[in-house]
Chains A and B, each alone.
Chain A
Amino acid sequence: MAKVPRNFRLLEELEKGEKGIGDGSCSYGLEDGDDIMMSHWNGTIIGPGHTVHENRIYSLKITCGENYPDAPPTIQFISRVNLPFVSQVDGKVDPSKLPVLAHWNRNHSIETVLVEIRREMASFNNRKLPQPPEGSTFS
């Protein structure tokens, strides 16, 4: 199979993100429409229902380095959230604690990362974790 280079892969992801993915519970877009290298992205996750996260809107920063998608993106929560793979100091996601990043392959995408994080929010161990006040941010 032809190996899609980083930039064309990110253009595909951008176009998919602009159309809207799934039911809208996860979304993403470029932080700056002028970012010709398409490195800096914003993501949003709407907390899954029937969990402590229900109706909360979480913002994240996603950074795709020059080796993306051979290497995973780095993820940092802007909104405060209590999850075992999120640093309570600065909101950075520890890639070794999140399977989609720890076992990365180039078929994964920004979308799969957001969807997996949302799935983790609803997991048995995480769905009832006490959470910081809604709307607070790491700064």
Chain B
Amino acid sequence: MSLPKRIIKETERLVADPAPGITATPHDDNLRYFDVTIQGPDGSPFQNGVFRLELFLPEEYPMAPPKVRFLTKIYHPNIDKLGRICLDILKDKWSPALQIRTVLLSIQALLSAPNPDDPLATDVAKHYKENEKDAQRVSREWTEKYASA
């Protein structure tokens, strides 16, 4: 079972030249399956947090998007209790021109810019819309509780 050249290239570059604040390491026994960490962006309620994620490249990749979810609990309107992420490029806006790197950078950007108008976690989105300051306080608390390095 050989790995497509594109995946090998992407993996090599991820390891040799990682994006700032992001690591992605393939599992030895499944080179399509990555352990990922993303640092919470400065200036966001997730600052100083290190979030663990998992990423899988399905058989159809790059014609189909990677599958990604958070393993670290996070209080964010576009990420649900099971760590599933609501992000257009992981769904209908996927393009084979995108890469693992761009996906992870987009997720990092989502942490800086929550979008409560397209929620996955409806209770968190409601909180963000009604009282953003208080919602950010909870996000900071969760970051400290679950994502401290």
Q: Could you list which residues of chain A lie within 8 angstroms of chain B, going by C-beta atoms?
A: 1-5, 7-8, 11, 14, 33-36, 38
Q: Could you list which residues of chain B lie within 8 angstroms of chain A, going by C-beta atoms?
A: 1, 27, 30, 32-33, 54, 56-59, 61, 67, 69, 71, 73, 81-84
Q: Which residue of the partner chain B has the closest CB to A37? A: B71
The total number of A-B Cβ pairs within 8 Å is: 39
Contact B67 A1 (CB under 8 A): no
Residues of A within 8 A of B73 (CB): 36
Identify which of A2, A5, A33, A36 contacts B71 (C-beta below 8 A): A36
Contact A5 B30 (CB under 8 A): yes
Contact B58 A2 (CB under 8 A): yes
Contact B56 A5 (CB under 8 A): yes
Residues of A within 8 A of B33 (CB): 3, 5
Contact B81 A33 (CB under 8 A): yes
State whether A7 and B32 are in contact (beta carbons under 8 Å apart), knowing that A2-B58, A33-B81, A38-B82 are contacts in the complex: no
Q: Which residue of the partner chain B has the closest CB to A34? A: B81
| Residue in B1, B56, B58, B84 with the greatest tally of chain A CB atoms within 10 Å | B56
Contact A36 B56 (CB under 8 A): no
Residues of A within 8 A of B57 (CB): 2
Residues of B within 8 A of A5 (CB): 27, 30, 33, 54, 56
